[in-house]
Amino acid sequence: MTVPAIVWFGLFCYLPLFGIFFAFKDFTPMPGRSLLYNLFVKSPWVGLRNFSYLFRNPQSLNILGNTLFYNAIFLVAGIVIPVFLAVILSEIHQKKFSGLVQMVLVLPYFLSWVIVGYCVYGFLATDQGQINSLLQVFGEEAVRWYQSPQYWRVILILVGIWKSCGYSLVIYLCSITAIDRTLYESASLDGATFWQKAWHITLPMLRPTIATIFILSIGSILNSDFGLFYQVPMDSGALQEVTQTLDVYVYKALMQQANFSFSSAAAFLQSAAGCVLLIVSNLAIRKVDKDSALI
Amino acid sequence: MNNAEHTSFVRPKDSSLSKRGNRLAVLFFVILIVLAFLPVLLVIMSSVSSEDSVAQFGYRFWPKEFSLEAFRYLGKSGSTIPRAFLNSVFTTAAGTLLGLLIMCPCGYALSRKEYSGRKGLMIFLMIPMLFSGGLVSTYMVNTQILHLKNTYLALILPGLCSTWYLMLLRNYFMTSLPDSLVESATLDGAMPFQIFRLIAMPICKPVVMTVAVFQVFAYWNSWYPALLYIDSNHSELYPLQYVLMNIERSIQAMIRDSQYLSGMNTYSPPSITLRMAMVVIVILPIMILFPFFQRYLKTGLTVGAVKG
C-alpha cells in the first residue's frame, strides 16, 4: 500500500537531495550528456568557492537582510495578530457572525499570489488605482507606486498579513475551542475580567500551538514566499532593492542567468540554516516546556 | 471532533464578554471584514465597469457605468481562455485524485500498528520536511532526469503528495478507526486492502475530503510549476493562473485570435477591465465553492492538532 508514496517521495524529494553537490561543484551543463555524468564526472570540485562568491557579492547582504527582515516581522505578526483576534472572536455571542468573520478573513489564504497581485494592482495602479484617485480628491500628487521602493516594505507586510492571518486565526480558534470551559467558569466566580482570563487561561493553553507554529516558521527563516515578493510587486525592477529575497534571487539566477552553482549555494544555505535552526529552536522549547516541543 | 462547529462557540451566558464588550467586539470585526474584503470587491466591481469609465475615473468600488463588455470580449476572444480554463480543471482534477490514490493507502498503513515498517517509513517521510535539495536541483532533476518540461505531468506530479497530508490522514485513521473493527474483519478473512477500501475509507471520509479540498485549491491556484516548466512556445499547456500572470502577452494573443476569427474587423479590446474580468473568472469558482468547503477545513485543523 505504501509503494506509490515511497516511489513519489523517492523521485521528487530524495532524488533532488543529491543536488547538494551542485553547491560544491562548478557545474556547466553539456548538451547530449546525462545530468549525472555532467555533475559528477565533468564538473570539477570547487570546495567552498561558490559560497565565498555568494558572500562577496555586494547584493547578497541586501538580499539576506531583506529575507531576515520580512521573516522576522511575519514571525511576530503572524502569531500576535491572529492570537489576539482569535481570543476576542472565540468569546463573541453571535455564532453566525463569528462564522462569517472566519470565512471572510480566511478567503485570501485560498487566493493565489497572481490574484493577490491584481487585487493590489487595483489599489496601486498609477492611472486607474484606487489610492491615486483618492489622493487626487484630496489634491495630492499621484504616486507611481510600482517605481517607489520606499513604500514597499509596508505594502508587502500588509499584503502578507492580509493573506495569511485568517488561516492562522482559524487554527488558534480551533485550539481555543479545545480548552476546558470550566476553567473560565471558575475564573468568573473569582471575579476575573475578560483580559485577565485571556492572559491567564487562554494564552497558556495555546502555548503548544504557538510553539509549533513558531518552530516551523523559524525553520523556514531563510525561505520566503516567492509569490509575495515576485508576483505582488509585478517583478518591477525599480523595487528590487526592497523586494528581492533569497528565493527570488535563486529563481532569477537560475532562470535568467543560468548560474547553477551560485543559486544552488544559496539554496543549500537556506536548507542548512533552516534545518539547524529548526532543531535548535525545538531543543530550546523542549528545555522550557516539554509538552510544547514538536519532535 | 466532527461536531467542532457545535462546540466552537460560547453561549452568551458563558462568555467572558459583557454585553457592551460584545457590541464593541462585533463592531471591530465588522470593520475588519469590510477592510479585508475590499481588495476582492474592488476587482469584482472593476470587472463589471465600462472601459471608458475606468479609463476616466479609475478602478472604483461603485463604477460610474456598469458594463459586461470585458466578459463579452473574453467570450469572443478565441481559444486562449477556454483552453486555459480546461487545463486548470484537468490538472486540478487529475492532481487531486491521483494524490489521494497515493496518499490514502499510505496514511492508512502508517496508522496500523501491525505494519512493521511504520517507524522507518515515518522517518523516510519526515526527512524531506527538514531538508530539501532546493530549487536548482529540483529543477534539474525534473527537467533532465524525469523529462517533465513542457508536459502536463510537470503541472501535476510535483505537488502530488505532502508529508503534512499523510500525517493528517494517519492521525485521523488512528483516532477514528477502532482497532477491534480491523481485527474482527481480519478474523473474517478480509485482506488488508479490502479492509482499507471497505471499512477504513467510508469511516474516514471527512479527512479525505479535507485533503481533497486543500489539494483542489492548491492545484487551482498553482502557477509556479508553469512558470518553471512550461515554455512560451507551449502556451497550449498554460493553466489559467499562468495566463493571468502573463496578461500583457495574453491580451496580445487574444487580439490576434479575435482578428483571425472576425476577419479584418479589428476593435481594440477593453484591456484595462479585461484583466480584472480574468481575475474574476479565476476567483469565482473559489468563492462559490468556499462556503461548502469551509467545514472540511476545520476537520483538518482539529485532526492536525493531534500529535503522534
**DSSP string spanning A75-143?**
HHHHHHHHHHHHHHHTT-S-HHHHHHHHHHHHGGGGS-HHHHHHHHHHHH-TTT-HHHHHHHHTTPPP-
d(CA A265, CA A51): 6
d(CA B125, CA A9): 7
Which residues in chain B are contacts of A16 at CB distance < 8 A?
Answer: 132-134, 137-138, 140-141
**B269 pLDDT higher than 90:** no
Best of A109, A114, A229, A264 to disrupt the B interface (most B CBs within 10 Å) is: A114
pLDDT of the residue at A81: 95
Which residues in chain B are contacts of A89 at CB distance < 8 A?
Answer: 25, 29
DSSP codes of every residue in B242-255 = HHHHTHHHHHHHHH
Q: Chain B residue with minimal CA distance to A197? A: B16
Q: Enumerate the β-bridge partners of residue B66.
A: B49
Cα–Cα separations (whole angstroms), residue B283 to A101, A110, B233, B280: 19, 9, 27, 5
pLDDT of the residue at A267: 79
List, for residues B215-228, the tens digit of each pLDDT value: 999 999 999 999 99
Buried b vs exposed e over B61-77: b needs ≥16 C-beta within 10 Å? eebeeebebbbebbeeb
d(CA B307, CA B136): 33
List, for residues A74-133, the tens digit of each pLDDT value: 999 999 999 999 999 988 888 889 889 998 999 999 999 999 998 998 888 887 888 888
Q: Chain A residue with minimal CA distance to B240? A: A114
pLDDT of the residue at B94: 96
Which residues in chain A are contacts of B22 at CB distance < 8 A?
Answer: 91-93
pLDDT of the residue at A41: 67
Give the residue carrying C-alpha cell 506509490: A4
pLDDT of the residue at B102: 94
DSSP codes of every residue in chain B = -TTHHHHSS--TTT-SS-HHHHHHHHHHHHHHHHHHHHHHHHHHHHHTB-HHHHHHH-S-SS-SSB--HHHHHHHHSTTHHHHHHHHHHHHHHHHHHHHHHHHHHHHHHHH-TT-TTHHHHHHHHHHHHH---HHHHHHHIIIIIS--TTSHHHHHGGGS--HHHHHHHHHHHHHHS-HHHHHHHHHTT--HHHHIIIIIHHHTHHHHHHHHHHHHHHHHT--HHHHHH--GGGGGG--HHHHHHTHHHHHHHHHHHHHHHTTT------HHHHHHHHHHHHHHHHHHHHHHHHHHHHHHHHHHT---
Let me know the angle formed at the C-alpha of B246 by B158 and A103, rounded to the nearest 5 degrees: 65
Cα–Cα separations (whole angstroms), residue A123 to A222, A259, B151, B268: 30, 36, 36, 25
In this complex, do B160 and A12 lie within 8 Å of one another by their Cβ atoms?
yes
Pair B160, B91: CB distance under 8 Å: no
pLDDT of the residue at B307: 42
Which candidate, A26, A3, A52, A4, places its Cα nearest to that of A269? Answer: A52
What average pLDDT does the segment A198-219 reach?
Answer: 86
pLDDT of the residue at B12: 56
Buried b vs exposed e over A243-268: b needs ≥16 C-beta within 10 Å? bbbbbbbbbbbbeeeebbbbbbbbbb
Pair A109, A163: CB distance under 8 Å: yes
Best of A96, A137, A174, A261 to disrupt the B interface (most B CBs within 10 Å) is: A174
Smallest CA–CA separation between A104 and chain B, in Å?
6
Domain B74-240+278-304 is found in CATH 1.10.3720.10: yes
**A38 pLDDT higher than 50:** yes
d(CA B192, CA B200): 10
Reading the block at residue B123, the C-alpha cell is: 522517518
pLDDT of the residue at B31: 94
Residue A237 pLDDT level (bands cut at 50, 70, 90):
confident
Percent of chain A whose pLDDT exceeds 90 = 20
Percent of chain B whose pLDDT exceeds 90 = 22
Reading the block at residue B262, the C-alpha cell is: 472576425
pTM for the whole structure: 0.86
pLDDT of the residue at B112: 86
Smallest CA–CA separation between A206 and chain B, in Å?
11
What average pLDDT does the segment A210-225 reach?
Answer: 84
**A62 pLDDT higher than 60:** yes
Best of B47, B130, B135 to disrupt the A interface (most A CBs within 10 Å) is: B135
Buried b vs exposed e over B108-120: b needs ≥16 C-beta within 10 Å? bbbbbeeeeeeee
pLDDT of the residue at A60: 82
pLDDT of the residue at A85: 94
List, for residues B94-137, the tens digit of each pLDDT value: 999 999 999 999 999 998 888 888 888 988 988 888 777 778 88
Reading the block at residue B184, the C-alpha cell is: 474482527
Which candidate, A10, A14, A171, places its Cα nearest to that of B106? Answer: A10
pLDDT of the residue at B266: 52
B92 or A235, which is more confident: B92
In this complex, do A110 and B290 lie within 8 Å of one another by their Cβ atoms?
yes
pLDDT of the residue at A82: 94
Q: Which of B136, B294, B305 sits opposite A260 (nearest CB)?
A: B136
**B54 pLDDT higher than 60:** yes
**B308 pLDDT higher than 50:** no
Residue B1 pLDDT level (bands cut at 50, 70, 90):
very low
d(CA A132, CA A141): 8
Say how many C-beta atoms besides its own lie within 10 A of residue B209's C-beta.
16
Name the amino acid, one letter, at B1: M
Which residues in chain B are contacts of A193 at CB distance < 8 A?
Answer: 16
Provide the residue ranges of all domains of chain A, joining segments of one domain with +.
57-261+269-292
In this complex, do A112 and B223 lie within 8 Å of one another by their Cβ atoms?
yes
Q: Which of A2, A181, A270 sits opposite B121 (nearest CB)?
A: A2
Q: Enumerate the β-bridge partners of residue B49.
A: B66
**A19 pLDDT higher than 60:** yes
In this complex, do B134 and A260 lie within 8 Å of one another by their Cβ atoms?
no
**B287 pLDDT higher than 80:** yes
Question: How would CATH label the architecture of A57-261+269-292?
Answer: Orthogonal Bundle (1.10)
Pair B39, A125: CB distance under 8 Å: no
d(CA A66, CA A243): 7
In this complex, do B36 and A247 lie within 8 Å of one another by their Cβ atoms?
no
Say whether A213 sits in a helix, a strand or coil: helix
Which residues in chain B are contacts of A107 at CB distance < 8 A?
Answer: 36-37, 40, 286-287, 290
**B302 pLDDT higher than 90:** no
List, for residues B242-259, the tens digit of each pLDDT value: 988 887 677 777 777 666
Q: Which of B28, B160, B294 sits opposite A103 (nearest CB)?
A: B294
In this complex, do B8 and A174 lie within 8 Å of one another by their Cβ atoms?
yes
Q: Which helix (H) or strand (E) holds B31?
A: helix B19-47
In this complex, do B33 and A104 lie within 8 Å of one another by their Cβ atoms?
yes
d(CA A207, CA A211): 6
**A56 pLDDT higher than 50:** yes
Q: Which helix (H) or strand (E) holds A209?
A: helix A203-219
List, for residues B172-216, the tens digit of each pLDDT value: 888 888 888 888 888 888 888 888 888 888 888 888 998 999 999
Pair B42, B222: CB distance under 8 Å: no
pLDDT of the residue at A34: 66
For helices A58-89 and A203-219, angle between their N-to-C axes, nearest 10 degrees: 160
